Structure 1
Amino acid sequence: IDTGMNRQGLTLEQAAALAQAPDRLRGLDIGLVLSHLGSATQPGHPRNAEQLAAFRRVRDLFPEARASLSSSAGAFLGADYRFDMVRPGISLFGGGPEERPDPRLRAVATLEAPILDIRRLAPGDPVGYGVSIRAEHATRVAVVGAGYADGVIRAARRSGKAWAAGAHRRIYIVDMDLTVVEIGDADLHPGDMVELLGPHALLDDLAAAAGSIAHECLVRLSPRAERLYVERALAPI
């Protein structure tokens, strides 16, 4: 049911017309009434309450069906929004319900890549294509073996952070197959792994650096990135 996103689903009027047409309902097994919130990442937005009220009206039209309104963000708005079923997505991977890190959640997806080379830069040295990105001071950088062909969002350059040797490291550039990360005097060597996404390089932080959302950071991960699925028992928070 479209309760206000104007994207998919029956309108409220169409749902009411269907509920009042026994001849049409006779051939349907309606087990679930479903809608989606458009502003759940902003808990105080009035649109949430408006959609909730609209959804309640529609649910009453199909009392035998289960009801589901909320995905990850909506589930955090409170019990009124959860109904019979919620559809957690991004928060299963650690993405915050308000598009920022949330201490109640743990990172699940981790993207790591090895250091291929370490180079020294002098002040003003350009990094990568063009000359718009330059070293601001003498430093060392690590050339990491993953780039936007693997799913690292190119727009995260300059302000994005990777994690290596126990600290956040600035991402200088993201090319097709390589990412260059400033490491200063850190004790790092070719072959050492750099966390580009994970428990330290948080999903929502990467998304913010790229001007995007956590969902895009995950769905961009390409088949070229090797998948390793680990089953782990986690203590409750």
Structure 2
Amino acid sequence: MHVTHTATPSPNRFSIIAGGAAQLTIDLTALRANWCYLNGRVGDGCTCSAVVKASAYGLGAAEAGRALFEAGARVFFVALPEEGIELRAELPLAEIFILNGLFHGREQLYRDFNLKPVLGSLEEVADWSSFARAENQQLGAALHFDTGMHRLGMAVSDAISLNASARALTGISVDLVMSHLACADTPDHPMNRKQLKRFLRICEQFPDARKSLSNSAGIFLGPEFQFDLVRPGIALYGGNPAPDTPNPMLPVAHIRAEIINLRDVPSGDSVGYGASRVTSRKSRIATINIGYADGLHRLVGNSDSNPNGARVFIGGHFAPLFGRVSMDMVAVDVTDIPTEHLVRGATIEVMGAHVSVDELANFAQTIPYELLCSLGARYTRHYKS
């Protein structure tokens, strides 16, 4: 991975920065602004945390973590203890929870790096309690209860039994009680109300602990879903937390590729592998230096039978991809783009201010989470602050 800290290049003029890789700019100012916006959406007494698992959704946990801490975030969530250790090196004062729970036999690791497991089973509770008692310490943790996802989390009945037991939570400081919404991005889905009702029953068993139910989309379901702490993830990185409404978040990840070749293709000739796309007119085709090795999903391409592929932005105009996405390159139909923007070395926005992560993910028939996490390692990365 190439990492630099240069400014974003001019959108229509290529600047020599580091070889021929496509450019990925992570706008840390936008990231901080997104956290501040979400923090402003929650009520008084509610904490806005930050989910930075999977290397901050592919954008770099260290850089993102520092920026979010500067913005005001003090509570962070990752999936794995290894991710927590990496983040701890950057943020010695942060509260860090491990969403995937207490991995068997790794209790010492959590204690040594001050990581709080999100305990999702009675077995995990027993192991963490036993370790804490052996260490003669009071160790922090979250208790995760399943209200309908059926992945991780204890049952409602487990909440009652834990509260009734005088020994089960010995040595554990219950710093958070949480669950996870399955359908928050569909506000009218009945599952949201069903999970809220179940979570309220659980909360009755732990009146003194902080409570958390909402992810990015859950924040927008209203105050009753926010409780004491919200856990935004995708919204921090520019994804739309409420897909059927205009996106209030700023784009954070900006991908720019370079025109490496321009050619005129006669009407009736094919472009790319499989001859899947044939020109219907004399066409100007630009080849740019990005492909599926960089995380540009093959499904964003197109064919004569399915011509509705993704688009890019150049010189104030949109231009459609043309044909299949290859490993290292993809063709763009620039026939309708003014010629002054069409020179070898010109940069093209593949994702960013004009082509959103949600739009590109839609063409890839996936979600922005997967798209961001799939960004390849060979981009020239710029952290803009």
Using the alignment, how far apart are the partners of 2:289 and 2:364 within structure 1? 19
Q: Which residue of 2 aligns with 1:58?
A: 202
* Cα distance, 1:14 vs structure 2: 1.8
Secondary structure in 1 matching 2:177: strand
Do structure 1's residue 138 and structure 2's residue 289 form an aligned pair?
Answer: no
Q: Which residue of 2 aligns with 1:234?
A: none
Does the Cα contact within 8 Å between 1:157 and 1:171 map onto a contact in 2?
yes
Q: How does 1:1-237 map to 2 (within 5 A)?
A: 1-99=145-243, 102-158=246-302, 159-172=309-322, 173-186=324-337, 187=339, 188-231=342-385
* Cα distance, 1:27 vs structure 2: 2.2
Using the alignment, how far apart are the partners of 1:20 and 1:121 within structure 2? 76
Whichever residue aligns with residue 224 of structure 2, its letter is D
Q: Which residue of 1 aligns with 2:5?
A: none
> Larger helix proportion, structure 1 or 2?
2
Contiguous gaps of at least 5 residues in structure 2 = 1-144, 303-308
Using the alignment, how far apart are the partners of 1:25 and 1:185 within structure 2? 67
* Cα distance, 1:110 vs structure 2: 0.4
Using the alignment, how far apart are the partners of 1:140 and 1:59 within structure 2? 62
* Cα distance, 1:203 vs structure 2: 0.8
**Could you give the per-residue CA deviations for residues 91-149 of structure 1, whole angstroms, max 9, x where no partner exists?**
11221123467342221110111110112122222121112222232211211111111
Using the alignment, how far apart are the partners of 2:244 and 2:269 within structure 1? 34
* CA shift in 2, pair 1:18/1:121, >3 Å: same
* CA shift in 2, pair 1:116/1:14, >3 Å: same
With normalisation by structure 1, the TM-score equals 0.93
Secondary structure in 2 matching 1:22: coil
Secondary structure in 2 matching 1:110: strand
Does the Cα contact within 8 Å between 1:101 and 1:202 map onto a contact in 2?
no
Any runs of at least 4 consecutive aligned residues in structure 1 with deviations exceeding 4 A, and if so which? none
Using the alignment, how far apart are the partners of 1:177 and 1:168 within structure 2? 21
Contiguous gaps of at least 5 residues in structure 1 = 232-237
Does the Cα contact within 8 Å between 1:31 and 1:64 map onto a contact in 2?
no
* Cα distance, 1:226 vs structure 2: 2.0
| Greater mean alpha carbon deviation, residues 131-140 or residues 198-207 | 131-140
Does the Cα contact within 8 Å between 1:95 and 1:102 map onto a contact in 2?
no
Secondary structure in 2 matching 1:29: strand
Does the Cα contact within 8 Å between 2:239 and 2:247 map onto a contact in 1?
no
The structure showing larger relative contact order (alpha-carbon pairs under 8 Å, at least 6 residues apart) is 2
* CA shift in 2, pair 1:182/1:108, >3 Å: same
Secondary structure in 2 matching 1:55: helix
Whichever residue aligns with residue 332 of structure 2, its letter is V
Using the alignment, how far apart are the partners of 1:5 and 1:39 within structure 2? 9
Does the Cα contact within 8 Å between 1:139 and 1:182 map onto a contact in 2?
yes
Whichever residue aligns with residue 193 of structure 1, its letter is T
Whichever residue aligns with residue 135 of structure 1, its letter is T
* Cα distance, 1:227 vs structure 2: 1.6
Secondary structure in 2 matching 1:116: strand
**Aligned residues with identical type, % of pairs:** 39
Secondary structure in 2 matching 1:170: strand
* Cα distance, 1:11 vs structure 2: 1.4
Count of residue pairs the alignment pairs up: 231
* CA shift in 2, pair 1:209/1:100, >3 Å: farther
Q: Which residue of 2 aligns with 1:235?
A: none
Whichever residue aligns with residue 7 of structure 1, its letter is R
* Cα distance, 1:154 vs structure 2: 1.2
> Larger strand proportion, structure 1 or 2?
2
Whichever residue aligns with residue 162 of structure 1, its letter is V
Using the alignment, how far apart are the partners of 2:268 and 2:212 within structure 1? 55
Secondary structure in 1 matching 2:277: coil
